[in-house]
Amino acid sequence: MTRAIEIHGLHKSFDDLEVLKGIDLSVDSHEVVCLIGASGSGKSTLLRCINLLEPIDQGTIAISGEEITAQGVDVDATRRRVGIVFQSFNLFPHMDVLHNVTLAPREVAGLKRAAAEQQAMALLDRFGLADKASDYPDRLSGGQQQRVAIVRALAMQPDVLLLDEVTSALDPVLVAEVLDQIRELAEQGMTMIIATHEMGFARDVGKRVCFLHEGQILEEGEPDRIFSEPEHEETRLFLDRIIAAGRM
Amino acid sequence: MAESGGPAPNVYFPPGGESDPRMPPGSGDRWPKILGGGDSSARNVWIAVGSTIIFFGILAIIVVRSPGWPEIKDSFFNGAEFRASFPLILKKFVRNIFIFCIAEVLVLILALVIAVARSLPGPVFTPIRIMAAAYTDVFRGVPTILVILLLGFGMPALDLQGVPDNDYVWAVLALTLVYSAYVAEVYRAGIQSVHPSQVAAARSLGLSRWQSMRHVVLPQAVRRVIPPLLNDFIGLQKDSALVYVLGVVEALNQATIIQQGDFNFTPLVALSVIFIAITIPQARFVDWLIARDQRKRQSGGVV
């Protein structure tokens, strides 16, 4: 059976700084994998590599069995299949919500305006955002902006969705609505890799948790085991710091 | 504008002030601010009005009572001359409008092409980037009047087949070439001011480099550069007077003809009035555009 995502020996450096030092990771269809680890451990870089926003130095990444890091692969076509949501939302401020969501389906997938808007409205409605369709991003709360950003990624009907610390820029009171949306996606079987500092959420939603440390996956396993009996000293230290910071 | 002297007033709660204390300094009505030197209390406004009247009054008296004033008034601010020359100059000003309107449209297009060319990433596009940079260096460096002279007299003199011998064509082309160099830099600043995360978001959705540019970067860039764009357009409009060197009878040429015939400089003053008169509505139009865009993006809701 082909995996949704299959990563082998992934290396990535920025100038002299090696950020990813040989990542191996596979994700099944409908699986939710949470990436935890300190800032700078390589979580974001890993996600950006899977979306091909960063060229990789070594290794391979395959989506549904097709290698996307090979020479001559249509980068734009690949990105359609891999949605990514960023920490800072990155909605297009000069477009209203509906236009934000329909831009890629119309321009990239070639949908007619009416069809794209119908699909977008259905998605917005599903996540309780239908009444915001004609609002501009500046008018929305951070939580609403992030939910729109998730809808925007979903509108391209990606095979996998990558979430890069999507609640880190939010007020604590706004985190729950975004997490609820992601939880709903997980229940509906969306394949996801979630980089997060929300350990409770990772434990709740993740089928598997990977602990990244200095560019390597040091430890992975079921959330309950990782959080209660981590094998590595580094994992234990990290979790202790998280607990001390009151994030668990 | 500097704070008024004496003990520093509390800007948020000016003593006896009529301004809204909830407003941060500088965001209130601009007139009391200009008149009162930053402090908008009623007393200060009256002091400002008084000192302004006295200052300009004394200045006017000095000018009017100077020995040369009657002569100056007669040859620069001659009412009869103004009334006689103004309609003639205005009629020829239509030609200036014609020249700068066509040039502005061409500038908007050509400058965008140059700016995008200069923003192309990657080693493959180095020659294109070099060409775009060289274009900017050359046409921003040469004085406008030289470009007009060189093109206007030089190109027809080549006597090449198909090269038009029409002064208007060369005038418009020269202004377009020069101002495209300026406006391209304005566009480029706008393009660079759009945060890279916007491009990342667009590319991550599968938009190509060009689609990201067209739908995400350029619309935001152009909105941001509208005020400096107006600057360059006003410069272009004023420089439309330079084409008189080619012998085109436009407003400046017409004004000079009258001035030389009547031995009176009032026609030149009349033309200055026309130039000022066309820039003010444009400035207000741009203010309105910006305000409308702000309203659209933030209307209603509590942010």
Rg (CA), chain B: 26
Q: Which of A84, A94, A104 sits opposite B219 (nearest CB)?
A: A94
> B209 to chain A: nearest residue by CA?
A76
Q: What are phi and psi of A92, to 5 degrees?
A: -85, 110
For residue B74, being part of any structural domain is answered with no
Helix (H) or strand (E) holding A34: strand A32-36
Would you say residue B113 lies in a domain?
yes
DSSP-assigned beta bridge partners for residue A160 = A82, A191
B211 touches chain A (CB under 8 A): yes
Considering the domain architecture, whether residues B54 and B143 belong to the same structural domain is answered as: no
Query: CA B22, B27, B30, B35 torsion: positive or negative?
Result: positive
Q: What are the structure tokens assigned to A221, written together?
A: 């396993």
pLDDT, position B7: 47
Count of structural domains within chain B: 2
Nearest to A104 among B207, B297, B298 (CB): B207
Place of tokens 């066509």: B102
Domain presence at residue B299? no
The domain that holds B100 is classified in CATH as: 1.10.3720.10
Kindly provide the b/e burial profile for residues B239-271, where b requires at least 16 CB atoms within 10 angstroms of the residue's own CB.
Answer: bbbbbbbbebebbbbbbebbbeeeebbbbbbbb
For A5-244, which CATH superfamily applies?
A: P-loop containing nucleotide triphosphate hydrolases (3.40.50.300)
pLDDT of residue A207: 92
Q: Test B203 with A152 for CB contact under 8 angstroms.
A: no
For residues B108 and B203, membership in a common domain is answered with yes
Q: Taking CB atoms and an 8 Å limit, are A138 and B297 in contact across chains?
A: yes
Residue B76 inside a domain? The answer is no
Alpha-carbon span A179 to B101, nearest angstrom: 54
B169 in the same domain as B55: no
Percent of residues, chain A, with pLDDT higher than 90: 72
Residue B141 near chain A (CB below 8 Å): no
Does B90 share its domain with B127? Answer: yes
Could you report how far apart the first and last alpha carbons of chain A are, in Å?
36
Q: Where are the alpha helices (DSSP H) in chain B?
A: 30-36, 42-65, 69-76, 79-118, 126-141, 144-149, 155-157, 167-193, 196-204, 209-212, 218-239, 251-262, 266-298
- Is residue B36's pLDDT more than 90? no
Using alpha carbons only, give the angle A64, A27, B208 rounded to the nearest 5 degrees: 50
User: What value of ipTM does the predicted structure carry?
Assistant: 0.90
The whole domain housing B131 covers 82-293
Does residue A1 carry a pLDDT above 80? no
Could you report the per-residue pLDDT of A162-195, keeping only the tens digit for each? Answer: 999 999 888 888 899 999 999 999 999 999 999 9
Regarding whether B270 and B138 lie in a shared domain, the answer is yes
Do B214 and B96 lie in one domain? The reply is: yes
In DSSP terms, A33 is beta-bridged to A193, A208
Same domain, B92 and B56: no
Same domain, B54 and B103: no
B269 and B124 belong to one structural domain: yes
pLDDT at B230 > cutoff 80: yes
Q: Where are the domains of chain A?
A: 5-244
According to the model, what pLDDT value does residue B156 have?
81
Classify A23 as helix, strand or coil: strand
Domain check: are B46 and B106 in the same one? no
CA distance A146 to A88: 8
User: Is the separation of the CB atoms in A152 and A100 below 8 Å?
Assistant: yes
pLDDT at residue number B16 = 43
Residue of B nearest to A76 (CA): B206
pLDDT for B166 equals 84
For residue B179, is it within any domain? yes
pLDDT confidence band for B143 (50 / 70 / 90): very high
- Token digits for A142? 């951070």
**Closest CA of chain A from B209, distance in Å:** 9
Computed over its alpha carbons, how large is the radius of gyration of chain A?
A: 18
What's the angle, vertex CA B290, arms to CA B285 and CA B295, rounded to 5? 120
Q: Based on the domain organization, do B43 and B180 belong to the same domain?
A: no
Q: A108–B301: do the CB atoms touch at under 8 Å? A: no
* The total number of residues written for chain A in this structure: 248
Query: Is there a single domain that holds both residue B110 and residue B33?
Result: no
pLDDT over threshold 70, residue A131: yes
CA distance B114 to B181: 8
